[in-house]
């Protein structure tokens, strides 16, 4: 069984695999969103390769390391891999790669990832 297509990354609409042939008889495929019309380049990738490429999305989460710490007083989302919390003003982050959010709530496990809170849509 082939991998299921994720929704369109631009509008959330349903995506479909489109297959056909060029004038030389080479099989071509692309992924098309039926809602917004976004379509990948039609090329000679195998359907499974096209689906994998479509389903690959960059993660907005940043691993907690000494090199990737958020700024103090920055509003961020934090997670321990099980729960996500919004932190309006980051209490502390240190050079050892540890995020402390204060005593009002605590995770049972260390915070592993964070991400900036995105701008609201206009």
Contact 74, 116 (CB under 8 A): yes
Which pLDDT score, from 0 to 100, does residue 89 have? Answer: 67
Contact 73, 111 (CB under 8 A): no
Which pLDDT score, from 0 to 100, does residue 108 have? Answer: 60
Which pLDDT score, from 0 to 100, does residue 99 have? Answer: 64
| C-alpha count within 13 angstroms, C-beta hemisphere, residue 79 | 14
**Whole-model pTM?**
0.50
Number of domains the chain is built from? 2
How many Å apart are CA 114 and CA 62, to the nearest integer?
A: 5
- Please name which of 103, 111, 10 lies closest in space to residue 62, comparing C-alpha atoms: 111
Do 48 and 67 lie in a common domain?
no
Do 75 and 117 lie in a common domain?
yes
Do 67 and 100 lie in a common domain?
yes
Do 65 and 121 lie in a common domain?
yes
The pLDDT profile of the chain, 122 residues, written as one tens digit per residue, is 458 999 988 888 999 999 999 999 999 999 999 998 888 888 888 999 999 989 988 888 998 888 888 877 778 888 888 888 887 766 555 556 666 555 444 556 678 888 888 877 77
Domain residue limits at 29: 15-55
Question: How many other C-beta atoms lie within 10 A of the C-beta of residue 35?
Answer: 13
- Please name which of 41, 44, 42 lies closest in space to residue 26, comparing C-alpha atoms: 44
Contact 87, 76 (CB under 8 A): yes
């Amino acid at each position: 069984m082939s991998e299921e297509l994720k929704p369109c990354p631009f509008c959330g609409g349903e995506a479909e695999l489109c297959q056909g042939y060029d004038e030389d008889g080479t099989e071509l495929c692309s992924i098309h969103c039926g809602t917004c019309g976004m379509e990948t380049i039609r090329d000679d990738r195998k359907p499974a390769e096209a689906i994998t490429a479509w389903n690959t999305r960059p993660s907005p989460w940043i691993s907690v390391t000494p090199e990737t710490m958020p700024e103090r007083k920055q509003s961020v989302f934090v997670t321990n891999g099980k729960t996500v919390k919004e932190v309006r003003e980051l209490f502390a982050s240190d050079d050892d790669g540890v995020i402390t959010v204060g005593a009002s709530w605590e995770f049972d496990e260390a915070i592993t990832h964070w991400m900036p809170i995105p701008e609201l849509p206009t």
